[in-house]
Structure 1
Amino acid sequence: MLPGRFLGGNLARRVFVPHWLQLMLDSLPTLLWAALIFTVPLTLLSFAFGLFVGLVAALVRLFGPKPLVAVVRFYVWIFRGTPLLVQLFLIFYGLPSVGILLDAFSAALIGFTLNIGAYTSEIIRAVIGSVPKGQWEAAYSIGMTWSQAMRRTILPQAGRVAVPPLSNTFISLVKDTSLAAAITVPEMFQAAQRIVATTYEPLILYVEAAALYLALSSVLSALQTRLEKRLNRYGGFLEARS
């Protein structure tokens, strides 16, 4: 018989819990706490800051002066062309050699932000470029300035198109935060590693961690699907009115 534990009050109501299940149940609060304190905040902050960086970079690529365009293109080329793990190592372990000291969470936040910014800039640049020029002309014809046209006409239309790729980027970021364990951020995956170091049960703990990442990604995917449907209905309503 596999090792396990009896739970319950009297003998008639005792339930045998297999060892692997008991280990998962015992580890679950620790993993969920690590996810709540580190994984979720790291994901949300990185995506929010990265989205802002991506928007600025996209606008520079589309409308900025050539010197700034060259700088942004170089930034995007570097961060899209190198592994995220290498970027994290360079920020956390490399910057101290030039006198820049960062704690693990800050280093991870900067690394994820710059990486997400590079990818989202290309998404945003593409969706803004997909808006018909007639929309610009219509906005200018009613007296809008460039910033007003961008804010009231172009970005709302581009945003609806950008939701699917940006949502996929966000879901990928949730899983990529596990790389922060490599620079000692005590997020969910590193919490699993620490439990493995004391229990010597890597298969059980890593399966549990994978299941939690899968559950979180599945919830986000379901929310993405609902959001896309609502935006499509809203877009159809606007097209019908026009």
Structure 2
Amino acid sequence: MENCLPPPGLALLGFLVLLPMTMPWGQLGEDGWLWGTHCVACLAPPAGSVLYHLFMCHRGGSPVYTRLLALDMCGVCLINTLGALPIIHCTLACRPWLRPAALLGYTLLSGATGCWGLPAPAPRAPHCGYSARLRAFGWQAGARLLVCGARGAGLGSGAPGSLRCYLRMDALALLGGLVNVARLPERWGPGRFDYWGNSHQIMHLLSVGSILQLHAGVVPDLLWAARHTCLPD
């Protein structure tokens, strides 16, 4: 079933075309490095998933498979880490004393959770690795929601409409994870969704939608940050 999944490969090709076409390269400003982190964040999950699905039938057995799964999760960790940096940067654009600390703090948090959640689970206890990854990504999601909450409460800044994109991004990612864990709809009809319409494919489609929402929010956010002048305190 896994080898018949087209979404990761199609998503990777789509983003390789979409990102260069929709990025305002001539308006990068002094924060151009954030465009690079955003591109890596959008490409990392489909790239990791493509490698995982491409080599998962390797005859190396469980050790190879679990390491491929860790590589797949590395893509998720990268979008959680790098994808949030522009959000934090723009939300705290008018708080220059707090912004570097928040960016550094989130990076350190992501590094710690990555070291905690990415190692491959032991073959006899894979559930331990899965739960560790969920906890690790949960810490990152909590930090992002805190930043979005600050923006929604008027304590942060950013382009109008971007906050809604970020909330939809996390909602789609959460929904995809829940569908994949719940094994829906194949739980209701065993054998009927072995090739198409299964939970794994739905999760991939929702993940693509989540990345698109991130892109839809970050582009206007960074353009806003490049043009906005903060009022003196």
Please report the TM-score for the alignment, with normalisation by the length of structure 2.
Answer: 0.32
1 or 2, which has the higher helix percentage? 1
Please report the TM-score for the alignment, with normalisation by the length of structure 1.
Answer: 0.31
